[in-house]
Amino acid sequence: MTDEAATIAAAMLVVDRLVVTYGTRIAVDGVTFHVQRGEIFGLLGPNGAGKTSTLNAIEGMLKPHDGTVRVDGIDIQRSPTDAKARLGVQLQASSFQSELTIEEIVRLYAGLYGLRITKAGIADRIRDVGLGDELGKRFKSISGGQQQRLSLLIAVINRPALLLLDEPTSGLDPQSRRQLWTRIENLRTGGGSILLTTHSMEEAQAVCDRVAIIDHGNLLTVDTPAGLIAKHRDDPRVVKVARGDVTLEDVFIGLTGSEIRG
Amino acid sequence: MADLASSAPAGGAVRAPIGLIFGSLLRADFTVLLRSGRTLLLNIAVPIAILVLIGLRLGNKSNALTQGGPGFVIGLALTYGLMASSLMGYSITIARDRDAGVFQRLRVTPAPTWAIMTSRLLVQIVVDLIMTAIVAVIASIIFGKAFSPGEYALIFCVSILGGAMFLAIAQAVVGLVRSATLVNAIGRILYVVLLLLGLLGSSGILGSTIEAVSDWSPVGAMINLYAGVLNISSWDWTDTSGLIATIGYIIVGSFIGIRWFRWESR
């Protein structure tokens, strides 16, 4: 086995030649990448590039037309329950039952992951994300930022081996954003892996170990942020859009184009 | 600080016991239902109102609705309750939660999809049974008739069948229609149409052809079934056809509802 093959075999997430279609439209076209244990991996792309479809396939929410997704060596299509038990997910467009209180939501999701947490334990976790005063409030009555924090709390309630974050910082104030990155860093320190999508190139450059740029369903490039800049700094498309020193954003716009996507 | 992510990740995650998953879902679904106090009250109060308003006028020969006897009135009240809860309540809740992404959030957990949906259905059936018990007790007071344990058992059986039928129809609606607003509108229209067809049709006001159609309609079938089990000695073909129709609606509704149901509205 070559070094690369061994690295991929030991990876926390392996996405292999993934194809996702909606009718005749191809949303993801043969995407292949892997996320190492303890790695923060960023998936970047313009709107409609195929990021969310890729995430949905990794989460087991849709059946790929072709290719495989393995989480900690488990095929998500063949053993979805086992694979999902290892995942933590924060979705961009999802919600909780609006009539349930914060405490009830945490208890529900703890149960879904097979965790028996005491009332005090639940309260501790809720306090930990700064929602201690909202414990008994219903989900519909807390602010958008608070909902986002709750969503992140639920995403890590099972101490996942792989955390999937779909634009995790949208709607967060700077304090919450800083706290989120601290938590993500802590999770990684504990050996967890993180796959995130974001539109913030600064954040991706600052926190991701490696990033992949995806567009029109195809993976354009994968490397460390510094590696991507070095690799593409002389690309005429990147040079054309760069203002001064080439940044990850310049590489991104150079490779994916300047036109605004829907 | 008991940091969420301070502990090592659960790399060797174990499979959650299905009992704990199902119990958690049931607890949450019951809580949500109990918090919808107005809907719950409506589901129980209106059948009682029907029972009282029509039941007290039984024997009034000028009113076709009161000529069917206690069995007809009890059947009508229970059928209304089942429709309100299982057809309207269920379809609107499912469509609303689907639109909001509640199901999407649940589905990324290890909870099997059948558990997510079965929990919802079970909660509705329990509400149907509670409504049935209350209406049956009040009916026995109004009509001065003490139901035997066997009759209670049969009434509950019909309510389970009826609840299942209206749930299957509701499932078919949310299976075929993605938009929550449209599901809401269709649910209400269906509700009025089925109620009028069953109510006016089975009373015979609109003639024998409509009466025959009504007997095979969901509401007509239910009213006949309730009337049949409350007077089991006079069970006839109309009651049997009601049973056949109910089972038919369950099968067809479930097939459509499962086959075309999508967990996301987008």
- Do the Cβ atoms of B28 and A108 come within 8 Å? yes
Q: What is the pTM of this model?
A: 0.88
Candidates A36, A84, A122: best to mutate against B (most CBs of B within 10 A) is A84
Q: What percent of chain B has pLDDT over 70?
A: 90
- The closest of B209, B40, B7, B199 to B131, measured between CA atoms, is B40
- The closest of A233, A237, A251 to A42, measured between CA atoms, is A251
Partner residue facing B13 (CB), from A85, A99, A186: A85
Q: What is the pLDDT of residue B14?
A: 67
Q: Is B262 on the interface with A (CB under 8 A)?
A: no
Identity at A148, one-letter amino acid code: Q
Contacts of A211 (CB under 8 A, 6+ apart): A41, A42, A43, A44, A204, A222, A223, A224, A225, A228, A248
Q: Is B39 on the interface with A (CB under 8 A)?
A: no
> Any idea which of A13-22, B51-60, B176-185, B257-266 has the lowest mean pLDDT?
B51-60
Predicted confidence band of residue A262 (pLDDT cuts 50, 70, 90): low
- In angstroms, rounded to a whole number, what is the distance separating the alpha carbons of residues B220 and B222? 5
Q: Tokens 């007290």 identify what position?
A: B56
| Structure confidence by residue, pLDDT tens digits, B215-224 | 899 998 998 8
CB B3, CB A128: distance < 8 Å: yes
DSSP bridge pairs for A197: A43, A166
What is the CB neighbour count within 10 angstroms for residue A126? 21
How many A-B residue pairs are in contact by the CB < 8 A criterion?
A: 143
> Residue B126 pLDDT > 70, yes or no?
yes
Question: Side-chain half-sphere of A103: how many Cα atoms within 13 Å?
Answer: 14
How many angstroms away from the CA of B144 is the closest CA of chain A? 41
Partner residue facing B105 (CB), from A95, A129, A157: A95
- Residue B114 tokens, joined: 């059948």
- Do the Cβ atoms of B100 and A129 come within 8 Å? no
Domain map of chain B by residue range?
37-259
> Residue B62 pLDDT > 80, yes or no?
no
Contacts of A48 (CB under 8 A, 6+ apart): A261, A262
Candidates B4, B97, B119, B262: best to mutate against A (most CBs of A within 10 A) is B4
In degrees, to the nearest 5, what angle opens at C-alpha B30 toward C-alphas B29 and B32?
A: 65
Q: What is the pLDDT of residue A1?
A: 62
Chain A residues within 8 A of B119 when measuring between CB atoms: none
Predicted complex ipTM? 0.89
Chain A residues within 8 A of B14 when measuring between CB atoms: 85, 114
| Structure confidence by residue, pLDDT tens digits, A107-126 | 999 999 999 999 999 999 99
- Do the Cβ atoms of B20 and A108 come within 8 Å? no
Predicted confidence band of residue B54 (pLDDT cuts 50, 70, 90): confident
Q: Tokens 């063949």 identify what position?
A: A78
Q: For residue A117, which phi and psi values (nearest 5 degrees)?
A: -110, 135
DSSP bridge pairs for A75: A70
CA dihedral over B225, B231, B233, B234, signed as positive or negative? negative
